[in-house]
Chains A and B, each alone.
Chain A
Amino acid sequence: MTVSQVSFGSHEPVLEVRNLTVKYIGDTRSTTAVDRVSFSIGTGEVFGLAGESGCGKSTIANSIMRLLKDPAKIAGGSITFGGKDVLAMGPEELRRFRWQDVAMVFQSAMNSLNPVLTIGEQIVDIFTTHAGLSREESLRRAGELLELVRIDRARLKSYPHQLSGGMRQRAVIAMAVALKPSLLILDEPTTALDVVVQQEIMAQIKDLQHELGFSVLFITHDMSLMVELSHRMAVMYGGRIVETAKARDVHADPRHPYTQALMGAFPPLTGPRVPLAGLPDGVKFRNIPDLAEAAPGHFVAPFGADDLTIAHALDAEAAALEGASR
C-alpha cells in the first residue's frame, strides 16, 4: 500500500491501519461505519482525520483503543502498533497497551473527570496503577505534570468543578501524557471550548508534542484548526477516506468535491469577502472508490460525472450569490 509509505516524521510507522472495516450490526440490518480505511502515522507525526459527525472518525479512534462495544464489530482489516497486532491482544496486554502506549483525550474530556475525586487523586491513580509507583512519588509526578500544562501545583487538591472548562481539559491532557505514550489520540479535544481557550490548548499540545515527541492522531471537523496543527491529514466521508495528503497540500489544493465543500465551510479571516458554497442539503456520494495518487503524495478517491455535477451546482449557487451582492 503506497499510501502508508508517505509519512512525515520517520518512515517507521508507529501505527498502521490497513483496510479497517467496522460494522454496526443490528437485528434487521447492519451499517458499515468504517469501510476499508488505511493510513499510518509516523514517529512524531501529527496526523489529522477530518470529517463531519457520523463519518466514522470516532469509530476509528475507538477501534484503535479497542473500545468498541456491541453492536460494533471489527469486520476486517488490521491495526498494527509498533509491530504488534492490536486486534489480537489479550486482556492483560491490552491493559498495558492502553494509556502506556496509546492514550486518548475524549471529546467531552472535561466531563470525563470523576467529580468526587480531586484532580490529584485521579492523576496519582494513573501512576500507582499503571506504573506501580509509590504514593509520594506519584504525587510528586502529578505536581510536575500539572505544571507541564501550566496549572498551579496547588490545584492537585481541587475538585473538577472548581476548575474552569479549559483547565479541566488541560488536566485531562496532562493525564493522557502522564505515562509518555508514543501515540496520543485527540478526539475533538476543543469543540466545547471558546476560541481563546482552544488556541491555548492547541498550542500546549504542540509544545508537549515537541517536548515529548509522541505521535498524534487528531480528529476534528474544524479544517482550519486541522491544517494548522497536522503534518498530514485525511478527509473522511461516509466511512471512506476520500482524500489524503500533506495538510498544506489539502489546504492549498483540495481535489475531492467533498473536501472542497468542507474547506468552503470555513470563511477566511483575511482578504475580500468572497461567496462560498457548502454542500447542498441531501447531497450524498455513494460507492466511493479506492484512493488513487493524483499528485506526488496526494491521494484522492476518483469521483465520477455525478459528483462533478454536484460541484457545478455548488459553483452555480455561489455565482448566484455573487450576482446578488453586486
Chain B
Amino acid sequence: MSHPILSPQAGGDRPGRRFGPGEAETPALEVRGLGKTFPIGGLFSRHSVRALHGVDLSIGRGEIVALVGESGSGKSTLARCVARLEKPSEGAILVDGVDILKRDRFQASREFRSQLQMVFQDPFGSLNPAHRIDHFLRRSLAIHGRGGAGTEQRLEELMATVGLQADMLDSYPHELSGGQRQRVAIARALAVEPQVILADEPTSMLDVSVRIGVLNLMRRLRYEQGISMLYITHDLASARYLADRTAVMFAGELVEEGESLDLLANPAHPYTQLLVSAVPDPARAGSYDPVRRAALRQAVMASTGCSFDGDPDQRCSADQPVRHQVGDPANRHWVRCHLYRPRAGAGGHALAAETAPQGAARKASA
C-alpha cells in the first residue's frame, strides 16, 4: 500500500535499536481489519453487538501509539483481542509480520506471550497477594526459559530498571503503594523481554502524584530498550505526553490517527474535536460553547458534509471508511471521511444520551 500513513516514519526522534533497511518495514505489531461481534440475549438470540469493526493499526518498533476514546468505544476490546484474551471475529493480528491468529489458532502460545506482554489497569488485582514480589518476577523468567544461573542478577536488574529497590523483592504486594505495584507489574512484563507491551489504562487507578512517574518509566523503557507500546487511555493529555502517535476510536472504529502533537493541535474529525474540547485546561478556561458542542455532536452522529468534499485528490464516500490525509504527510495524520456512518453497535453512549435518549446507542446489527 502506498498510503502515507502506512509507510515507515522518516527521521523524527524515534529512538531504539538500529535496523537494517528491510527490517524497518515490518511493524512490531499490526492489526488488519480487526472485528469483534458479541452475541447478546439468550442462547438462541440472533442479536449481536458489533464492538469492533475494520480496525487497522500498526505500531512500529520502538514506537508508542496511544488509543483514545470514551468508555464503550471498544478500546479495551481491541486490547483483549490483541492479547488473545478474546477471539476476534475477523481480521488479522501480525506480530513481527507473522499472523498470530493463523500461527496459534486456538490460544496464545508461549512464544506469542514472550513477544507481547500486558500491563493492566488495576495493580491491586493483577498481583497475587499471597506471594512476594520475588515470586512474580522469578516465575515470569522461569516460564519463558530465562531461569537458571544469573536469575538473581536479572531480578536486581529488573527492579533497578523500573526504579525500585532490590530489597523490595521480599515484600508482599500489600506492603507496596499503587505506583510501586504498577512498577512491579511492568517489571514482570519486562522479564520476558517482549517486543510489545500492551498497557490498558495503566495509570488510571494510581494516585495522581505518582502517575507521571509511571508514564516517564514507560517512556524511558522505549528509549533504552526500544520496546513498542500500545497505550490505551481516555486521558488525552497523557496520550499527548507519552505517545508518538495517537489513534482515536469511536463506536468500535478508528476515526482519526496521527502524530500526537499534530492530532491534538489540529483535530479534524468532529468526534476528536469534541473530545479535545472537553478536556479541562486552565489555559483556556471558559471555552465551553454549548452551541458549538451541539453542532459537533450532530456532526458526529449524522454528518451532512465533509471538509474534503470536492477535493479531486481525496474521494469522499458514505459507504467506505475512506481516509483523508490531513496537513503535512510527515505527520501521518489521517481522518475518516465525515460522510461515512458507522453501523455502530457499541460506543457513543455519551453522545447518544442527549440526541436520542433511548435505543440509538444499542442498535444491534444482526
Contacts and interface: CB of A to CB of B under 8 A. Distances in A.
Given A203-B288, A265-B212, A268-B283, A164 B237 contact: no
B78 to A, nearest CB: 17
B210 A281 contact: yes
A76 interface: no
Contacts of A53: 207
B285 A228 contact: yes
A19 B276 CA distance: 41
B279 A195 contact: yes
Contact of B278 (A195, A258, A279): A195
Interface string A226-263: 01100000000000000000011001000000100110
B290 interface: yes
A137 interface: no
Given A166-B350, A227-B285, A267 B210 contact: no
B189 interface: no
Interface string A150-174: 1010010000001011110000000
Interface in B224-254: 224, 234, 236-238, 240-241
Interface string B179-223: 110010000000000000000000000011111110010011001
B350 A196 contact: yes
B209 A196 contact: no
A160 B264 CA distance: 35
Interface stretch (B85-93, B106-114, B334-342, B351-359): B351-359
Given A262-B209, A280-B213, A325-B13, A268 B281 contact: yes
Interface string A308-326: 0000000001000100110
Main secondary structure on B side of the interface with A: helix
A321 B288 contact: no
Contacts of B288: 199, 203
B234 A195 contact: yes
Contacts of A200: 278, 293
Interface stretch (A100-108, A269-277, A298-306): A269-277
B209 A228 contact: no
Interface stretch (A35-43, A66-74, A124-132, A217-225): A217-225
A225 B282 CA distance: 7
Given A228-B281, A265-B208, A282-B177, A321 B216 contact: yes
B209 A52 contact: yes
B1 interface: no
A213 interface: no
A227 B238 contact: no
A194 B361 CA distance: 16
A199 B265 CA distance: 19
A276 B207 CA distance: 16
Contact of B71 (A52, A194, A281): A194
A224 B280 contact: yes
A51 to B, nearest CB: 9
B13 A269 contact: no
Contacts of B219: 321, 324-325
B49 interface: no
B306 interface: no
A152 B224 CA distance: 55
Nearest to B288: A203
Contacts of A325: 13, 219, 223
Contacts of A202: 280
Given A228-B282, A321-B216, A321-B219, A164 B240 contact: no
A264 interface: yes
Nearest to B281: A269
Interface in B260-310: 261, 264-265, 274-286, 288, 290, 293
B138 interface: no
Given A266-B237, A267-B238, A199 B280 contact: yes
Contacts of B284: 270
Interface of A: 52-53, 150, 152, 155, 162, 164-167, 194-200, 202-203, 221-225, 227-228, 247-248, 251, 258, 261-262, 264-270, 273, 275-282, 317, 321, 324-325
